[in-house]
Amino acid sequence: MRSSVLSNTHAAPGVLAESEQELREAFLDQVDRIPGAERLHRCIQCGTCTGSCPVSYTMDISPRQVIALFRAGAIEEILRSRTIWVCASCYNCTVRCPSQIKITDLLYALKRLAMERGIYPSKFPVYVLAETFAKMVRRYGRNHELGLLRSFYLRTRPLELVRQSTVGLRLLGKGRMPLWPEKIRARKDLRAIIAKAEQIERPQEPTGEARRVGEVGYEAI
């Protein structure tokens, strides 16, 4: 259900391209699923979020600009940005925003949308980590750090695996890097929960783009 405040006051000006209109709908659907996220419309463009962000110096568009671009009807540009992937979830913007906008949660929503549409910035493989992580939880019920990092580096930057292994070996030497994953007993139950939740979240048939995501490793159920 769409909150009327948002759709009335925040239709982007002019005529939107069909694809942009569709992205906007999908994004607003996400906004409706986050408590307090509709306060998005209260943004006064003060830039406190950008000034508070420890990683804004390495973003291509700032957190303030994310909201400005949404208003201008350029969601696709946000989805193609490096910004949504570089957010470290420190929540500084969220606690400091004078309009109490849930910026971190909105960036999560944008990440989900980008992943669902198979839109990823080149050279920034955060989504691979997210996918690998999700797969591991589904398989074992717990995260296995060694397995996660190994498959992440193998899929993104195999050479980096050698450089990073010095850290891994030190942890191994101290008994802080188990070689084998821990598995929960109720894996079947957990998978049933995940399957149901996935079905609820996305009951429709996967689109062509979503299938493209499947090719890079996301396991659809």
- Alpha carbon 192 to its chain's center: 23
Contact between 197 and other proteins by CB under 8 A: the answer reads: yes
Closest Cα to residue 183, out of 132, 134, 139? 139
CB distance 81 to 107 below 8 Å: no
Q: How many residues bind other proteins (CB under 8 A)?
A: 67
**Cβ neighbours of residue 161 under 8 Å, at least 6 residues apart?**
150, 153, 154
Q: How far is the CB of 84 from other proteins (least distance, A)?
A: 9
Binding other proteins (rule: CB under 8 A), the pick from 16, 26, 161, 194 is: 194
CA distances from 142 to 27, 88, 135, 154, 181 (A): 30, 22, 10, 21, 8
Considering the complex, what minimum distance in angstroms separates the CB of residue 59 from other proteins? 10
3-state helix, strand, coil in the chain (%, to 5): 60, 0, 40
Binding mask 97-136 for other proteins (x = CB under 8 A): -----x-x---xx-xx--x--------xxxx-xxx-xx--
In 3D space, the residue among 66, 61, 79, 84 whose CA is nearest the CA of residue 22 turns out to be 79
Q: How far is the CB of 182 from other proteins (least distance, A)?
A: 6
CB of 69 to other proteins, least distance (A): 19
Nearest to 134 by CA among 73, 191, 207: 191
**Least distance to other proteins, CB of residue 167, Å:** 5
Asked whether position 212 contacts other proteins by CB under 8 A, the answer is: no
Question: Can you tell me whether residue 99 is helix, strand or coil?
Answer: coil
- Between residues 44 and 167, which has the closer beta carbon with respect to other proteins? 167
24 or 102: CB nearest other proteins: 102
Of 14 and 54, nearer to other proteins (C-beta) is 54
Binding site for other proteins (CB under 8 A): 1, 30, 33-36, 54-55, 58, 85-86, 88-92, 94-95, 102, 104, 108-109, 111-112, 115, 124-127, 129-131, 133-134, 137, 141-146, 149, 152, 167, 170-171, 174-178, 182, 184-186, 189-190, 192-198, 200-202
